[in-house]
Amino acid sequence: MGKAFSNVKFSILDLAPVLHGHDATLSFQNSADLAQHVEKLGYHRYWLAEHHNMPGIASSATSLVISHIASHTEKIRVGAGGIMLPNHAPLVIAEQFGTLDALYPDRIDLGLGRAPGSDQATAHALRRTLNSSPEDFPSQVEELEAYFAGAARVKAVPGQGANVPLWLLGSSDFSARLAAERGLPFAFASHFSPDYTLPALRLYRDRFTPSNQLSKPQAMVGVNIIAAETTEKAKWLATSQQQQFLSMIRGKPSQLMPPIDDIDQEWTIYEKASVEKSVNSKSTIVGDKDVVREKLAAFIEETEADEVIINSQIYDHEERKKSYQIVSDLVHV
Give the pLDDT confidence of 249-282 residue by residue, as tens digits: 999 999 999 999 999 999 999 999 888 876 657 8
pLDDT class for 207, splitting at 50, 70, 90? very high
Q: Once rounded to an integer, what is the mean pLDDT over residues 126-137?
A: 70
Residue 74: phi and psi, rounded to 5, are -120, -40
Each residue of 112-144: b (16+ CB within 10 Å) or e? bbbbbbbeeebbeebeeeeeeeeeebbebbebb
Instruction: Work out the mean pLDDT of the chain and round it to a whole number.
Output: 93
Q: Is the per-residue pLDDT at 156 higher than 70?
A: yes
Q: Once rounded to an integer, what is the mean pLDDT over residues 25-33?
A: 98
**pLDDT, position 190:** 86
Report which residue type is found at 276: E
Interatomic CA distance for residues 15 and 17, integer angstroms: 5
Q: Is the per-residue pLDDT at 154 higher than 50?
A: yes
**pLDDT, position 168:** 97
Q: Is the per-residue pLDDT at 116 higher than 70?
A: no
pLDDT class for 285, splitting at 50, 70, 90? very high
**pLDDT, position 333:** 46
Q: Which residues contact 271 (CB under 8 A, 6 or more apart)?
A: 246, 249, 250
Q: Once rounded to an integer, what is the mean pLDDT over residues 221-232?
A: 97
**pLDDT, position 305:** 96
Cis bond before residue 194 (omega within 30° of 0): no
Q: Is the per-residue pLDDT at 1 higher than 50?
A: no
Percent of the chain with pLDDT over 90: 82
Residue 73: other Cβ atoms inside 10 A: 19
Interatomic CA distance for residues 140 and 247, integer angstroms: 33
